[in-house]
């Protein structure tokens, strides 16, 4: 399972909202349904790439 970044447009009560979401997926790119599960009101999105790993999980990082 990897985390991906998706720029999205979503419908809200006040109109529309846009932003970037972190979407977990076992695929190379998340499906529409996976994005909609993370972003309420999800309409469309653009795949931005894999999310960077958190600092503490990067290989070769030394503990203080």
Q: Which residues contact 32 (CB under 8 A, 6 or more apart)?
A: 42, 45
Structurally, the chain folds into a number of domains equal to 1
CA neighbor of 8 nearest in space, from 25, 26, 30, 27: 30
State how far Cα 13 lies from the chain centre.
22
Q: What is the mean pLDDT of the chain?
A: 91
Does residue 56 lie within any of the structural domains? Answer: no
The answer to whether residue 32 is domain-embedded is yes
Domain-located, residue 19:
yes
Share of the chain residues as helix, strand and coil, in percent rounded to the nearest 5: 15, 50, 35
Q: Considering the domain boundaries, does residue 12 fall inside one?
A: yes
Q: Which domain holds residue 28?
A: 2-49
Residue 62 lies in a domain: no
Q: Please check whether residue 16 lies inside any domain of the structure.
A: yes
- What is the pTM assigned to this prediction? 0.79
- pLDDT at 9 exceeding the cut of 90: yes
- What's the whole-number mean pLDDT along residues 22-38? 97
Q: What is the mean pLDDT of residues 26-41?
A: 97
């Amino acid at each position: 399972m990897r985390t991906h970044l998706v720029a999205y447009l979503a419908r809200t009560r006040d109109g529309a909202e846009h932003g970037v979401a972190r979407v977990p997926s076992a695929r190379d790119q998340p499906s529409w349904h996976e994005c909609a599960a993370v972003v309420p009101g999800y309409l469309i999105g653009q795949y931005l790439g894999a999310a960077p790993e958190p600092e503490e999980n990067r290989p070769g990082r030394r503990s203080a």
